[in-house]
Structure 1
Amino acid sequence: MKFNRIFAVSKRIFADMKNDKRTIGLIILAPILTMSVFGIAFSGDVENVDVIVVNHDEGFTVPGEGFKSLSQDILSNIDDKTINIQYMDNENHALDKVEKGEAYAVIIFPSNFTKDVFLGVKNSNSSKFSDITVKADESIVNIKNAIYASLTDAQKTTFDKEGFKSPIKINEDPVYGKNAEFIDFFVPGIMSFVVYILTTLLTLISFVGERVSGTLERILATPITETEVILGYGIAFSIIGIIQSAILIIIGILVFNIAIVGNVLLAILGISILAIVCQSLGILLSNLADRVEQAIQFIPFVVLPAFLLSGIFWPIEAIPQWLRPLSYLIPPTYAARASRAVMIKGWGIDMIWMDLLALTIFAFIFLTMAVYSLKTKKG
């Protein structure tokens, strides 16, 4: 073994890199992108969760202390960075907003809330206590925990100031996601993620390989048009996406005992549309690579944004506010949200049609761009 020969091999590798600006850029940009996105996306807590408060509390005049409204004191101590409070008078209207996905919870204070608290504190023999009822969408565990933690902390702060322990019980009345665990939130997201990554990368590498080998050129020399090639790929990968989703759901049920409330076929519909979007994206990216090795360099730029910003593994509400708009430019965001809504909440197509429409628009745009790019490359 001679070090001069080893050094010669290393020198040749760096010489090759010198002539490949794309590789140099990847070596520099990939670590920057990875650390920046991980640091920003995973460093935040859940914020700006919309919660409705229905406050029936009439307050209570405490002898020697004057009028008190403990419900208002608790609400004033809630962290407004975590929870956005909207006040309503009608419980049914408030609950309707949660059922439609326009808010995550309704917090209800009864009419004698303050009175019952003070009577319970002053009379040690009293069995009186007061309830706070929370009717929440518990399908996203992180958000549910943030709501209850904020309410509990505000309650503790309020009663610490009053100088007594809280005689309050929080009644949980889930609207969606009763007994849901993180795995129930996780599986619909991983379905979208797997199809997004595999379909995009398989199409990208396959198309570059066919172009390098001359297969694509021979296909286009036949009466087959560019549009037919793209649509053929779309049909094939949508079927593959359905198969992958079915496998993941079967594993989730048999191994992880996930709960499925809605029509699982509707959830898979969103995934199959996502597969069409991704194969078109793969074809677009293939035009930027001259060989398979260059195609593989796109992996970090395909994987990281979806992994961190599409709400697949981490709620969008926990992503910094200024970064959230980027989440809605990533197709898996809509597939994951739609499949979760169906599988955990039991929503039908009338509730997820906007997510399906967004995926369809992505598919149309990317298919059109893919056909155009194929014609341009051929020309």
Structure 2
Amino acid sequence: MSPLRILSLARRIITQCLRDKRTFGLIIIVPSIVMALLGYFYTASTTQVVTIGVVNEDLGLGSVMLSHDVVDKLREQGNITVVELSRADVNQSLKDKKIDGAIIFGPGFTEDVLVDQTVYASIVTEGTDQGKSASVNMKAHNATIAALTSAMQGGAGFSMNLSLPAMPAGNLTNTSLRIGVLNQDEGLDGIILSDTLIYELLEQGNLTVVSLEGPDVNQSIKDKKLNAALVIGPDFTRDIYEEHAVNLSVMAMAPDPRNISAYQQGLSLLSSKLQNATVAALSNVKKNDFTVNVDSSVIYGDGFAMLDLFAPYLLGVIAFAFIFIFTGVTFLRERSFGTFERLLVSPITRSEIILGYMLGFSVFAIIQSMIILAFAVFVLNVKIVGNIYDVVALQLLVTLVSVNLGIFCSSFAKNELQAVQFIPLLILPQIFLDGMFWPISTLPNYLQVFSYLMPLTYANDALQNIMVRGLGLGDVLIDIVVLLAFAVVMVALSALSLNKRLQ
């Protein structure tokens, strides 16, 4: 085997690809455009303005008009526009996309709240945009709770400002929460108000409260045994009586970009239960001017935007897909031009031809993969907590799998159209089942089996652990071993298919 002949063949492939403008565009320009568009989409989706229509038919009770308080709280929230409507205009405004949702207050809204202690309000959304529908429901729900909490406290005189972290979307629904409580409250002269708060939390219903010890908090959230953890400090009761302040800390994981609707619903539900429990716990405290402070923290992804959380999936999927297309089409063109026949009459051996093609395609695949990574880091400013070189190593491993998969599939195609038809067969199922759009654990069991047979599942898991959680290569060793196994299998299959073509 001659390394010079292998390098010579690889150099010919590289030179030929560089002269082809279409190939140059596929390698450099197209991935950059796709990354830019996706970057804009995930950046814009987190800052979108929601327009809510308000139908206010509330007749009030005397001089009290609680619906006005709810509307005022709506306007105080960010990225929201409030417009007034009549009930007859709601459906048409939604159909014309003039509003994203509407909240309707009936004639007896204030009376029902003050007399019957029951809230009746209707929220209507258009329904085709899940993100905006969830946002409308969350903003309306939070505004209602904030307004009614302030009104019902009346002379109690404390304001409530809850700032909660992201809720993990794993198995979360909008009707059930599993909350851990780390109670460090030392009380004051035998009074321990934290016990009352926990009791009132349990009284909320649809809530499981688990007692935690100090070391258990982070690990329980990491293991997804809990949706969140409530930490009550040692001076909780003392701060209430002496400082007139309620200090709590809520811990959770970063939001799951694949299920924003569940995250927003869970966040709204937790906010509601904490506020109700705090109000109930403080109802017998004869103090005024309380301020409720809830500090938030996250274990992973602190300060991350939606794009930062989704970037690991984009890097793996885009690199894998474009490298597969490039390798498959270019290799097919080599066959169509009769290159193999001319190589067979030269001194180069079959094994040298196989290695030469792999090396030539791998050079461009690596360049393309590095362009995608560089665009994400330097243009889109994607945050990477872990080591950038670990990300590079994983990208190279994904490249090796994709190149040889492209060579293998191309040997079964007779023209470029047939080569492209492998995309819906091999690429799209991986995109939908690799955990990019929804957690694998939420898929039916038979689909989970297919998910774990696909290389992108392990590539995305490893990239997310390094880029978001800050782990190292040693922590994702299982993913690396599986990807190496895929790479070895793909190299063997591509070599066999190429060798068969040369015979």
**Considering the TM-score relative to the shorter chain, is it more than 0.5?**
yes
Q: Deviations over 1:166-212 (max 9, x none)?
A: 99654321222111011112333222222211211122122222222
The equivalent residue for 1:285 is 409
SS of equivalent residue, structure 2 residue 404: helix
Which residue of the other structure, out of 242, 248, 252, is the alignment partner of 1:131?
Answer: 248
The equivalent residue for 1:192 is 316
Q: 1:140 to 1:168 in 2, by over 3 A?
A: same
SS of equivalent residue, structure 2 residue 468: helix
1:136-215 aligned at under 5 Å gives the runs 136-138=252-254, 140-141=256-257, 146=262, 149-150=265-266, 152-154=268-270, 156=272, 170-215=294-339
Deviation, 1:140, is 4.2
Query: Equivalents in 2 of 1:377, 1:316: separation in Å?
Result: 41
The equivalent residue for 1:53 is 180
Q: 1:70 to 1:278 in 2, by over 3 A?
A: same
Query: Equivalents in 1 of 2:348, 2:200: separation in Å?
Result: 74
1:255 aligned to 2:372?
Answer: no
Which consecutive unaligned segments of at least 5 residues does structure 2 have?
1-128, 135-168, 283-290
Bigger shift: residues 173-182 or 125-134: 125-134
The equivalent residue for 1:309 is 433
1:373 aligned to 2:502?
Answer: no
Query: Equivalents in 2 of 1:324, 1:91: separation in Å?
Result: 35
Query: Equivalents in 1 of 2:178, 2:471: separation in Å?
Result: 20
Bigger shift: residues 333-342 or 146-155: 146-155
1:77 aligned to 2:206?
Answer: yes
The one-letter amino acid of 1:153's match is L
Q: Deviations over 1:316-359 (max 9, x none)?
A: 35853443443332222322332233233322112122222121
Q: 1:257 to 1:207 in 2, by over 3 A?
A: closer
Q: 2:233, 2:248 within 8 Å by CA — same for their partners in 1?
A: no
Larger fraction in helix:
1
The one-letter amino acid of 1:72's match is L
Q: 1:283 to 1:61 in 2, by over 3 A?
A: same
Q: 1:145 to 1:54 in 2, by over 3 A?
A: farther
Could you state the TM-score of these two structures normalised by the residue count of structure 2? 0.52
The equivalent residue for 2:43 is none
The equivalent residue for 2:466 is 342
Q: 1:237, 1:275 within 8 Å by CA — same for their partners in 2?
A: no
The one-letter amino acid of 2:200's match is L
The one-letter amino acid of 1:53's match is G
Q: 1:233 to 1:359 in 2, by over 3 A?
A: farther
Query: Identical aligned pairs, as a percentage?
Result: 24
Bigger shift: residues 293-302 or 165-174: 165-174
The equivalent residue for 1:6 is none
The equivalent residue for 1:90 is 213
1:216-365 aligned at under 5 Å gives the runs 216-220=340-344, 222=346, 224=348, 226-312=350-436, 314-316=437-439, 320-322=443-445, 323-365=447-489
SS of equivalent residue, structure 1 residue 274: helix
Query: Equivalents in 2 of 1:263, 1:91: separation in Å?
Result: 29
What do you get for the CA RMSD once the two structures are aligned?
Answer: 4.4
Q: Deviations over 1:225-250 (max 9, x none)?
A: 55544444444444434323332333
Query: Equivalents in 2 of 1:264, 1:52: separation in Å?
Result: 35
Query: Equivalents in 1 of 2:451, 2:341: separation in Å?
Result: 37
Query: Equivalents in 2 of 1:333, 1:378: separation in Å?
Result: 34
Deviation, 1:94, is 4.0
Deviation, 1:267, is 0.3
Q: 1:261 to 1:68 in 2, by over 3 A?
A: closer
Aligned length: 321
Q: 1:362 to 1:377 in 2, by over 3 A?
A: same
Query: Equivalents in 2 of 1:67, 1:212: separation in Å?
Result: 75
Query: Equivalents in 1 of 2:366, 2:209: separation in Å?
Result: 41
SS of equivalent residue, structure 2 residue 215: helix
The equivalent residue for 2:115 is none
The equivalent residue for 1:107 is 229
Deviation, 1:363, is 0.3
Q: 1:238 to 1:73 in 2, by over 3 A?
A: farther
Query: Equivalents in 2 of 1:179, 1:144: separation in Å?
Result: 17
Bigger shift: residues 298-307 or 199-208: 298-307
Q: 1:233 to 1:242 in 2, by over 3 A?
A: same
Q: 1:369 to 1:77 in 2, by over 3 A?
A: same
Determine which structure has greater relative contact order: mean sequence separation of CA pairs < 8 Å that are 6+ residues apart, divided by chain length: 1
The one-letter amino acid of 2:335's match is R
Which protein has the larger Cα radius of gyration, Structure 1 or Structure 2? 2
Which consecutive unaligned segments of at least 5 residues does structure 1 have?
1-41, 79-84
Could you state the TM-score of these two structures normalised by the residue count of structure 1? 0.67
Query: Equivalents in 1 of 2:232, 2:296: separation in Å?
Result: 15
Query: Equivalents in 1 of 2:369, 2:214: separation in Å?
Result: 38
Query: Equivalents in 2 of 1:104, 1:335: separation in Å?
Result: 26
Deviation, 1:153, is 0.5
Query: Equivalents in 2 of 1:291, 1:316: separation in Å?
Result: 37
